[in-house]
Every structure is written in structure tokens, then in C-alpha cells.
């Protein structure tokens, strides 16, 4: 199967230095492999959405020279596929409705491990739906971070795949769409490293293939905290793309030609020097 990568931003703010690193890193891996690079807008969490940010992110990417090979997929248009995956899991008896409140969970350290709801069913309230976590260690090799493992029930527990409000979780939507879009390698920030075992478990339950994974180092702020779109931290400026793009490339350990004037020339020069095996080994880095 030929290589397909993707960048999958959530519209919770403008593109920032961290998300630009994920976009550039995934683009370089795709182009290096001679494959396709897709963009997916993960707009399935309306309460967290910042109006206008999906449009702004999608307008910023080409300004940085990052042009997708296919039309953007909006997760908000994919609900029927998530319904079908949910029904498949429900039909297989793998999910259960759950009325547990935050305070119910607080009594068990915040992790739901029973495989069934610990509260009483409450017909007055809609439940969340959780998938039962197996008592298994999920292992995978991250192509930058090395071998990873997580005891799913112990460390994560039964996790929500459909929220009380009816919204599907990131984990379910991501797994359904990575498979549907034929993604062969997921390149993203290492803040999502600990989501990957949940996603691998969902792939197994749904009979979907597991792509390769490469989690990039996280860009941290001056205090060593993860940059977050919602904090409006370190937004990159698409009207003056070269400095942000140079910083993103330098962060990935790629020294670029000073002569490039346009973002796409800079990316092409970066690609000539790019070798995914030589990506900066991960201890998290601070923003320059
Ligand atoms: N939408 C997620 C985010 O913006 C990234 C999802 C992914 O790459 O799997 O953090």
C-alpha cells in the first residue's frame, strides 16, 4: 500500500508553533516517502470550537507551503460513519452506558475499571457510552520514541466513546477516519502518545488496520508547558510565514538553506535533507 499521512487539527484556536511542527513533520514524512499528505479537520467538539478557527487554520497551511493532496475531510460530516462504528461495538457487546459522575469516579481515582456502570441507571439522564478496557498491555513501536506499552485497564480504564451530549470522542472518530482515509503512518505531537494504545484497541475491536506511529517532540513554552491553541500561545503568522517555518524546521533538527524566499522553496530544500531516522530524538524541546 502506498504511503498516506495526515495532519488533523482541531478548530480550537489558530495554528501555533506546536501544531505547525506537527503539520510540517507529517508533510515531510509523506513527501519523503513519495506519498500523499491529507488534512482532516477534527471539528466534532462544538463546545470547544473557536468560531472561525477552522477556516483560519486551513487558510494558514498553504501560506506555509503545505498543500493537501485531497479535499479536506471535516469530521462534522462523518457522523454516520461514527454511528456505524458505535453500533458495531454495541452489537459486539463491547460498550456500556454509563451514568457515573465525576464524583463517582473520584472515589476510584478517576479511572473507571469495572467494565460496567458503577452508578444506578438514571432514565432521567442520558448516559455516556464507554468501551470496556481489556486487562491487557497494549504494545507498539513508535518510530521516534521507541517501544511503548500501556496497561489499558490499569492506566486508562473503560473510556468514553460517546459523550453524554451525544458527541463522539476524539479516539473513536480518529480511528474510524484514519482507516477510512487509508492513513499508513500517523505523525503527530507526543501529547497524543498516550492516546495511541486506546486507538490501537479500538482498531482491534472494529477490525481496522493499525497504521505506523511517529510522535514528534512537543514544543514547550518558556515555563516548560505544552503550547495550547486555547491559550492563544505562540500563534504563527501566516502573513509572514518564513520565520515560523524556519523555527519549525529547526525544531525538527533540519538546517535549511538561507537563500529560500518562499515557504515552498524552503520546504523543498528541507525535504532534500530530510531523513525521518534522523529526526531530533525526543526529549521535549522549548520553543526557540
Ligand atoms: N486533533 C488533534 C489535535 O489537534 C490531533 C489528532 C491527531 O493527530 O490524531 O490535537
- Number of compact structural domains in the chain: 2
Q: Are residues 39 and 52 in the same domain?
A: yes
Write out pLDDT tens, residues 89-110.
999 999 999 999 989 899 889 9
Q: Are residues 266 and 203 in the same domain?
A: yes
Domain annotation covers residue 171: no
Instruction: Say yes or no: CB of residue 215 within 6 Å of ligand 1.
Output: no
Mutate to test the pocket of ligand 1, among 10, 57, 229 (most ligand atoms within 8 A of CB): 10
Res. 207: pLDDT tops 80? yes
Q: Which atom of ligand 1 is nearest to the CA of 188?
A: 8
Q: Are residues 257 and 234 in the same domain?
A: yes
Q: Are residues 244 and 266 in the same domain?
A: yes
Q: Are residues 30 and 127 in the same domain?
A: no
Calculate mean pLDDT across residues 229-258: 82
Lowest mean pLDDT segment, chosen from 121-130, 268-277, 279-288: 279-288
Q: Are residues 127 and 213 in the same domain?
A: no
Domain annotation covers residue 73: yes
Q: Are residues 219 and 186 in the same domain?
A: yes
Q: Are residues 72 and 88 in the same domain?
A: no
Calculate mean pLDDT across residues 163-192: 97
Q: Are residues 213 and 269 in the same domain?
A: yes
Q: How far apart are CA 83 and CA 87, in angstroms?
A: 6
Question: How many angstroms does the Cα of residue 251 sit away from the middle of ligand 1?
Answer: 19
Q: Are residues 32 and 129 in the same domain?
A: no
Looking at the whole model, is its pTM more than 0.85? yes
Instruction: Say yes or no: CB of residue 246 within 6 Å of ligand 1.
Output: no
Question: How many angstroms does the Cα of residue 125 sit away from the middle of ligand 1?
Answer: 30
Q: What is the dihedral of CA 43, 44, 48, 49, to 10 degrees?
A: 30
Give residue 9's domain range. Answer: 4-79+181-286
Q: Are residues 68 and 185 in the same domain?
A: yes
Instruction: Say yes or no: CB of residue 177 within 6 Å of ligand 1.
Output: no
Residue 18 sits in a domain whose CATH number is 3.40.50.620
Residue 97 sits in a domain whose CATH number is 3.90.800.10
Q: Are residues 204 and 268 in the same domain?
A: yes
Amino acid at each position: 500500500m502506498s504511503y498516506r499521512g495526515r495532519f488533523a487539527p482541531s478548530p480550537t484556536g489558530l495554528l501555533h508553533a506546536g501544531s505547525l511542527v506537527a503539520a510540517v513533520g507529517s508533510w515531510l514524512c509523506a513527501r519523503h516517502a513519495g506519498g500523499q499528505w491529507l488534512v482532516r479537520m477534527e471539528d466534532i467538539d462544538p463546545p470547544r470550537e473557536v468560531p472561525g478557527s477552522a477556516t483560519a487554520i486551513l487558510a494558514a497551511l498553504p501560506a506555509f507551503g503545505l498543500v493537501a493532496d485531497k479535499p479536506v475531510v471535516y469530521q462534522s460530516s462523518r457522523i454516520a460513519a461514527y454511528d456505524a462504528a458505535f453500533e458495531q461495538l454495541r452489537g459486539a457487546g463491547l460498550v456500556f452506558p454509563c451514568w457515573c459522575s465525576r464524583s463517582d469516579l473520584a472515589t476510584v481515582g478517576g479511572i473507571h475499571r469495572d467494565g460496567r456502570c458503577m452508578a444506578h441507571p438514571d432514565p432521567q439522564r442520558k448516559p455516556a457510552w464507554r468501551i470496556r478496557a481489556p486487562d491487557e498491555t497494549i504494545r507498539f513501536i513508535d518510530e521516534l520514541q521507541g517501544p511503548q506499552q500501556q496497561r489499558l485497564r490499569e492506566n486508562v480504564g473503560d473510556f468514553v466513546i460517546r459523550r453524554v451530549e451525544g458527541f463522539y470522542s476524539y479516539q473513536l472518530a480518529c480511528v474510524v477516519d484514519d482507516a477510512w482515509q487509508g492513513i499508513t503512518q500517523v505523525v503527530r505531537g507526543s501529547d497524543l502518545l498516550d492516546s495511541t494504545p486506546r486507538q490501537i484497541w479500538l482498531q482491534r475491536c472494529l477490525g481496522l488496520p493499525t497504521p505506523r506511529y511517529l510522535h514528534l517532540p512537543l514544543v514547550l513554552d518558556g515555563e516548560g508547558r505544552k503550547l495550547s491553541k486555547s491559550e492563544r500561545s505562540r500563534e504563527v503568522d501566516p502573513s509572514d510565514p518564513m520565520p515560523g517555518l524556519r523555527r519549525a524546521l529547526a525544531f525538527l533538527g533540519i538546517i535549511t538553506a538561507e537563500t529560500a524566499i518562499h515557504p515552498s522553496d524552503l520546504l523543498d530544500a528541507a525535504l532534500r535533507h530530510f531523513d525521518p531516522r534522523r529526526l531530533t530524538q525526543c526529549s521535549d524541546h522549548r520553543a526557540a
